[in-house]
Amino acid sequence: KKKLPLYNQKILVTAGPTYEAIDPVRFIGNHSSGKMGFALADELASLGADVTLIAGPTAQVSKYQSIKRINITSAADMLQQCLEHFPAVNACVMCAAVADYTPATVSAQKIKKHDGGLNIELKKTTDILKTLGQQKREGQVLVGFALETNNEEQYAIEKLQKKNLDLIVLNSLNDAGAGFKNDTNKVTLIDRDLHKTTFELKNKTEVAHDICIKLIELLKK
Ligand code: C5P
C-alpha cells in the first residue's frame, strides 16, 4: 500500500466561531460557519494525517471517523484545548474565528430589561495563534487565517510576522463568494519568504486541498 503524503503527521485544526457568554441566555458570537475548518480537517485526514479538530458551536460534521473532535464554546476554552494539544503536533491550522473581546464579567442571572440602554464591558481575549507562535518548536508548522475588508495583503503580512506563522491564508470580504458561510472561498497564501499565491474562487474542499499541498511542502522543509 502506498503511503499517503501526511501519513504519521499529527495536525491540529481549529474551526467555527466562539460564543462569549453575557449571561445564562445570551452570548457574543460571529458569523463563522465552521465550513472552511471542517473542509480542512477532512482534506488533511484524506491525505493520511492524524487530525484533532477543536470546534466551536457549529452544525458541521466530519467525513472521517478518524478525526478526533473536541467541542468548545468560548475563546478561553479554545485556548485551553490548544495549549494542551499543540506540543504533540507537527502542524496546526487555526481556522476558527475566535472572539477578540469577551464580557469582563458574566452575569449569573439573566439580565432584566429596564428603561434606558445597557453597557457591557468587554476585555480582550488571549490571542491563541500568537501564543502558539511563541511556543512553536523547531520543525512545527503554524498556519493562520486572516479575514480582512481593506489593506488585505499588508495586514496579512503583519499578522504572519507578529504571530510567528509559517503561512497565512488571506480571504477578503470584498471578494464575492469568499469568507463566511459560503461553500466557496477565494484565498491568497503567503509564506515566510513572502512568496504569494492567489487562487481563483473554488469550493472550500478544493481550497482546503490547495492549503494542504502548501502545508506538505512546508512540513518537508
Ligand atoms: O489578528 P486576527 O484576529 O485577525 O488573526 C486571525 C487569526 O488569528 C486566525 O487564524 C484566528 O484563528 C486567530 N486568532 C486566535 N485567537 C484570537 C483571535 C484570532 O487564535 N483571540
Best of 94, 170, 173, 211 to mutate for ligand 1, by most ligand atoms within 8 A of CB?
94
Let me know if residue 113 belongs to a domain: no
pLDDT value at residue 176: 79
Give the pLDDT confidence of 150-207 residue by residue, as tens digits: 899 999 999 999 999 999 999 877 777 777 778 898 999 999 999 999 999 999 999 9
Is 27 close to ligand 1, i.e. is its CB under 6 Å away? Answer: no
Please report whether residue 37 resides in a domain.
yes
Which residues are known catalytic residues?
A: 30
The CATH number of the domain where 143 resides is what? Answer: 3.40.50.10300
Q: What is the pLDDT of residue 173?
A: 78
pLDDT at 1 over 70: no
- Is the CB of 129 inside a 6 Å radius of any atom of ligand 1? yes
Domain range enclosing 23? 10-100+121-220
pLDDT digits (tens, 9 = 90+) for 104-137: 999 999 999 999 999 999 999 999 999 999 999 9
Please indicate, yes or no, if residue 2 is contained in any of the structural domains: no
- Please count the other Cβ atoms lying within 10 Å of the Cβ belonging to residue 212: 20
| Number of structural domains found in the chain | 1
* Residue 204, in any domain of the structure: yes
Distances (CA, A) of 105 to 21, 49, 80, 126, 210: 9, 40, 19, 16, 42
Q: Per the domain annotation, does 181 fall within a domain? A: yes
Query: Is residue 115 one of the residues assigned to a domain?
Result: no
Say if strands 20-21 and 27-28 run parallel, antiparallel, or are unpaired: antiparallel
Mean pLDDT of the region 54-69: 98
Domain annotation covers residue 129: yes
* Closest ligand 1 atom, residue 145 Cα: 10
pLDDT reading at 2 higher than 90? no
pLDDT in tens, 5-49: 999 999 999 999 999 999 999 999 999 999 999 999 999 999 999
Whether 213 is covered by a domain: the verdict is: yes
| pLDDT for residue 37 | 97
